[in-house]
Amino acid sequence: MIEKALHGDKRYWTWVTFLILVMGVGVLAYLKQFNEGLGVTGMSRDVTWGLYIAQFTFMVGVAASAVMVVLPYYLHNFKEFGRITILGEFLAIASVIMCMTFIFVDMGQPFRIVNVFIYATPHSMMFWDTIALGGYLVLNILISRVTLDAERKSIAPPGWIKPFIILSIPWAISIHTVTAFLYAGLAARPFWMTAILAPRFLASAFASGPALLILVCLLIRRLTGFDAGEKAINKLAVIVTYAMSINVFFVLMEVFTAVYSSMPEHTSHFEYLFFGLNGKNALVPWMWASEILAALTLILLLNPKTRRRTNTLAVACVAVFASIWIDKGMGMVVTGFIPNPLGQVMEYTPTFIEILITLGVYAMGILIVTGLYKVALSVKKTQHPEAWKRSVGTDLEQVEA
């Protein structure tokens, strides 16, 4: 079935070639980092985690968000998600692989990664994160493979797969909960040590992930003519609306607790984020941009008219994704280290090499998604021609041959 990813038109192969080139640049940048050490990044003795771990955290959210299509479809029998469930699962697979790669490129001694298994340490949250992510990857590969295979043969999926699908729902919640526990259990970092971190991670995940899925569906419709269905898109938009509202609510609760209690070790991090501390303010414009985008999304999403119109919905989804990416992918991790445990403000700026490696990992993830979606759409093209009502695309034509 996977060989379907090897049939495509010129446009498809141009895109694949481009992604492989970006990956190649990322690999070269990584070789430099591998040879010289993590000193080529912007990380320091004070800010010991940076872009890689932040992207890892953000992508765990995207991976977990597959549950937002799986749950309504399998648990509530919401048939309209039938066309896109596989897209959500494939997105999760690519995201988890990206997460693992981000962890790998962040390690000082990457070839010692086996030590995590040889000396398995249940009192470390990193051990549980490894299990959660690995298990989630296996579950999604198994489920998507079996269900897509059944779809290709026009038969119902075998009964034995159902328990695995049900299991994947709490498992998705667990991957982001355990990722939050990596941070939330550290007395040394008051910025992260908040009970709402896991709920907040989940809320932002269930906003950013489905927002990305909507954008991907709109893009696929334009490129291939495959229509996810108006009802499905609208339902996803409602999910994004709820999740984003809850996310903003959680952020405000965090700010209230920190600001009203006025404990310096809690307020100082928020002060750094939004106003700067000791004259250091690299993240301030970004964080305000994130908050303005969040406000904009709520206006566009809470209003049913703008939420249902494709153009405004697309703008809202881009804004949701950007707002949460800044918050999680830039602010959340780094600010835990600023100020440091001695109250000193040492800032962090990613280096060019670091950004190239990050782009390389993203290119790899997008390449995986591209290939997997190609497979899924090829199957759907033969099995559900009705989904191609608009039929503007041509790049899948030769697959049927």
Which residues sit at the interface with other proteins, rule CB under 8 A?
A: 36-39, 41, 43-46, 48-49, 103, 106-110, 112-113, 115-116, 118-119, 121, 123-127, 130, 182, 185-189, 264-265, 336-337, 340-344, 346
Token look-up 């899924």 returns 376
The nearer residue to other proteins, 47 or 298, going by C-beta atoms, is: 47
The nearer residue to other proteins, 186 or 246, going by C-beta atoms, is: 186
Cα 372 to Cα 368: distance, rounded to the nearest angstrom: 6
Q: How far is the CB of 178 from other proteins (least distance, A)?
A: 13
Q: How far is the CB of 51 from other proteins (least distance, A)?
A: 14
The nearer residue to other proteins, 113 or 292, going by C-beta atoms, is: 113
Q: How far is the CB of 367 from other proteins (least distance, A)?
A: 26
User: Which three-class secondary structure string do you get for 348-401?
Assistant: CCCCHHHHHHHHHHHHHHHHHHHHHHHHHHHHHHHHCHHHHCCCCCCCCHHHHC
The nearer residue to other proteins, 344 or 391, going by C-beta atoms, is: 344
Q: How far is the CB of 38 from other proteins (least distance, A)?
A: 5
Cα 189 to Cα 339: distance, rounded to the nearest angstrom: 9
Integer angstrom CA distances of residue 152 from 133, 141, 180, 364: 28, 16, 38, 27
Closest CA to 5 of 67, 92, 94, 68: 94
Cα 204 to Cα 293: distance, rounded to the nearest angstrom: 14
The nearer residue to other proteins, 47 or 239, going by C-beta atoms, is: 47
Q: How far is the CB of 219 from other proteins (least distance, A)?
A: 36
User: Is the distance from CB of 50 to CB of 362 less than 8 angstroms?
Assistant: no
Cα 298 to Cα 329: distance, rounded to the nearest angstrom: 20
The nearer residue to other proteins, 170 or 341, going by C-beta atoms, is: 341
The nearer residue to other proteins, 220 or 356, going by C-beta atoms, is: 356
Closest CA to 320 of 235, 233, 204: 204
Token look-up 């600010």 returns 335
Instruction: State the CB neighbour count (10 A cutoff) for residue 206.
Output: 25
What are the start-end ranges of the E strands in 143-231? none
Cα 111 to Cα 125: distance, rounded to the nearest angstrom: 20
Q: Is 66 helix (H, G, I), strand (E, B) or coil?
A: coil
Q: How far is the CB of 351 from other proteins (least distance, A)?
A: 11
The nearer residue to other proteins, 76 or 123, going by C-beta atoms, is: 123
The nearer residue to other proteins, 108 or 159, going by C-beta atoms, is: 108
Q: How far is the CB of 195 from other proteins (least distance, A)?
A: 17
User: Is the distance from CB of 395 to CB of 9 less than 8 angstroms?
Assistant: yes
Integer angstrom CA distances of residue 14 from 19, 83, 352, 367, 396: 9, 27, 26, 12, 15
Q: How far is the CB of 354 from other proteins (least distance, A)?
A: 12
Q: How far is the CB of 113 from other proteins (least distance, A)?
A: 6
